[in-house]
Chains A and B, each alone.
Chain A
């Protein structure tokens, strides 16, 4: 499914007659933008091509929960007007899918949960609003694990999404619908959220590019909160350039999120500068984690050789507290979620069981009916970890281990510019194979959650196949150095000649 650029991209650079030109649903944003500027296509035509693609593919893939056709039509008309007036930007008219955790005014947003069924936000979150302002066209809302808790999208209260590369496999999660929509050619890019790997892992499993920015790079205003000290919004795209472009558009200070930093928006700096003389850290612990598949390891080793041939120096580094990351994460994330999810009480929005003796009874009934098993597990676990008597042993202890994990990264970054590893220890696994054992599902995130605990930017870029399924290469960089992570990923993309193709042809 992946071919060298010379085989595929020629058709979009040259103007061709309509009847035999390449299908825009398989191109990158940069390529389609050229077609738009040349008048070879229009935003409205792009929209209808993508709706057709969704119509033919989504019955199998099930990436979307709901489409927003009237909004999309209005945005596409406005985009065409801007293009005609010569006022188009690099994202004008580009069709986007949005994970069901990002509030869009008037568009039902439910975090994959029954408890928010019917909820229509009265406002649009900052990240989405900035993309709307840049002329993007919103196709619809994508499926995810309930409240972004999961690694396979099987915890959605609606239905599981399937991996476009193999419909019997999961797309990863929690942002599985977003990843699958981009892989299947249903959207040109998509938004997700990443608390422990929920963008990078599904990007790896679906063979697309996905990035979690530095904590504080993108405003979380309008993101339904899971774990507030770990959550970040980020893009899924078909190229590293597209990823940098979407991130740059969303990023930057927002007075509506006090943790969103006021810093230069320099994420695209030196994108094409290559990796010559860069030192790339290879953490030995990340190659020996539980459940690491041989095929994944081989693909990553090959990718490291490609980077080496491109001029990078590979350095052995150590992250000695890797074995404790999962344990610390599964105290901190549930603790924060148990507090954040207290707002779902059946009073202000969503599901409500009013037929109760008193308000406590109403809370108990509403939350029993509204929350699925994984959310219940995490709320109970987090409530337990925060309760008096266990607070020091669990929550405080986990926060101290978090300090040590962050120090591991600080120490490693003294020896290297970026850290490279697999994104996921496995390729996409069969639907249903991990749902009975929560811990086996949690292990999916063992290579990504360190980046959240330490607040680092991380990107996953496709790096070949194992057993017919995509493998992702993860690049982690120091805080605020998205430019380095993207530059390494871009250098890999160029040196390997890999090209993300829509999986269903």
Chain B
């Protein structure tokens, strides 16, 4: 549910079994002593780069919507976000 991928009943068992097998291999990570080891999220030392917050050329509204499955009045169209009261 959190992954936002709809599955049917049979598929749930299929993926549960496969993912259990993969997690079985991944569990070997627990054998490694990582006390006092810092996590690595990014391997290359690069300083954060900032730029002036100035307007630059960007996509037109038409270009931005060109790939939209559904658009209305210059907006993306989506199913209702809130249930009707």
A122, B67: Cα distance in complex, Å: 9
Q: Which residues of A lie under 8 Å from residue B81 when comparing CB positions?
A: 358-359
- Which of B3, B29, B49, B59 is the one whose CB lies under 8 Å from A380? B3
Q: CB distance B43 to A229 under 8 Å?
A: yes
Q: Which of A402-455 contact B (CB under 8 A)?
A: 402-404, 406, 438-439, 442, 453-455
A394, B19: Cα distance in complex, Å: 14
Smallest beta-carbon distance A384→chain B, Å: 8
Q: Which residues of A lie under 8 Å from residue B79 when comparing CB positions?
A: 354, 356-359, 361-362
Given contacts A259-B46, A321-B32, A368-B6, whether A348 and B70 have CB atoms under 8 Å apart is no
Q: Which of B9-51 contact A (CB under 8 A)?
A: 15, 18-19, 21-23, 25-32, 34, 37-44, 46, 48-49, 51
Q: Which of A380-410 contact B (CB under 8 A)?
A: 380-381, 383-384, 387, 393-394, 396-404, 406
A367 at the interface (CB under 8 A from B): yes
Q: Which residues of B lie under 8 Å from residue A229 when comparing CB positions?
A: 41-43
Q: Which residues of B lie under 8 Å from residue A362 when comparing CB positions?
A: 78-79
Interface size class of A (residues with CB under 8 A): 35 or more
Chain A residue, CB-CB nearest to B67: A349
Smallest beta-carbon distance B85→chain A, Å: 14
A9 at the interface (CB under 8 A from B): no
Chain B residue, CB-CB nearest to A121: B67
Chain A residue, CB-CB nearest to B70: A354
Smallest beta-carbon distance A217→chain B, Å: 9
- Which of A214, A261, A364, A438 is the one whose CB lies under 8 Å from B4? A364
Among A130-138, A158-166, A193-201, A371-379, the stretch that binds chain B is A371-379
A150 at the interface (CB under 8 A from B): no
Smallest beta-carbon distance B20→chain A, Å: 11
- Which of B4, B29, B63 is the one whose CB lies under 8 Å from A367? B4
Q: Which residues of A lie under 8 Å from residue B77 when comparing CB positions?
A: 354
B69 at the interface (CB under 8 A from A): yes
A328 at the interface (CB under 8 A from B): yes
Task: State the main secondary structure of chain A at its contact with B.
Answer: helix
Q: Report how many A-B pairs have Cβ atoms within 8 Å.
A: 164
Chain B residue, CB-CB nearest to A230: B43
A363 at the interface (CB under 8 A from B): yes
A492 at the interface (CB under 8 A from B): no
Q: Which residues of B lie under 8 Å from residue A342 when comparing CB positions?
A: 4
Q: CB distance A261 to B44 under 8 Å?
A: yes
A180 at the interface (CB under 8 A from B): no
A324 at the interface (CB under 8 A from B): yes
Smallest beta-carbon distance B64→chain A, Å: 7
Q: CB distance B15 to A400 under 8 Å?
A: no
Q: CB distance B30 to A358 under 8 Å?
A: no
Q: CB distance A364 to B22 under 8 Å?
A: no
A258, B42: Cα distance in complex, Å: 12
Task: Return the CB mask of A342-357 against B: 1 if under 8 Å, else 0.
Answer: 1001111111101011
Chain B residue, CB-CB nearest to A355: B79
A258, B44: Cα distance in complex, Å: 12
A401, B41: Cα distance in complex, Å: 11
A264 at the interface (CB under 8 A from B): no
A73, B74: Cα distance in complex, Å: 35
Q: CB distance A379 to B49 under 8 Å?
A: no
Q: CB distance B69 to A402 under 8 Å?
A: no
Q: CB distance B80 to A400 under 8 Å?
A: no
- Which of B2, B25, B41, B51 is the one whose CB lies under 8 Å from A399? B41
Q: Which residues of B lie under 8 Å from residue A387 when comparing CB positions?
A: 2
A5, B83: Cα distance in complex, Å: 71
Q: Identify the B interface with A (CB < 8 A).
A: 2-7, 15, 18-19, 21-23, 25-32, 34, 37-44, 46, 48-49, 51, 59, 63-64, 66-70, 76-81, 83
Return 5 A-B CB contacts under 8 Å, by A number: A327-B27, A376-B7, A397-B30, A403-B34, A438-B18
Q: Can you list the 8 inter-chain pairs with the closest CB atoms, starting with the nearest?
A: A352-B69, A399-B39, A455-B43, A364-B6, A349-B67, A400-B34, A368-B6, A383-B3
Q: Identify the A interface with B (CB < 8 A).
A: 118-120, 122-123, 214-216, 229, 255, 258-259, 261, 321, 323-324, 326-328, 330-331, 338, 342, 345-352, 354, 356-365, 367-368, 371, 376-377, 379-381, 383-384, 387, 393-394, 396-404, 406, 438-439, 442, 453-455, 479
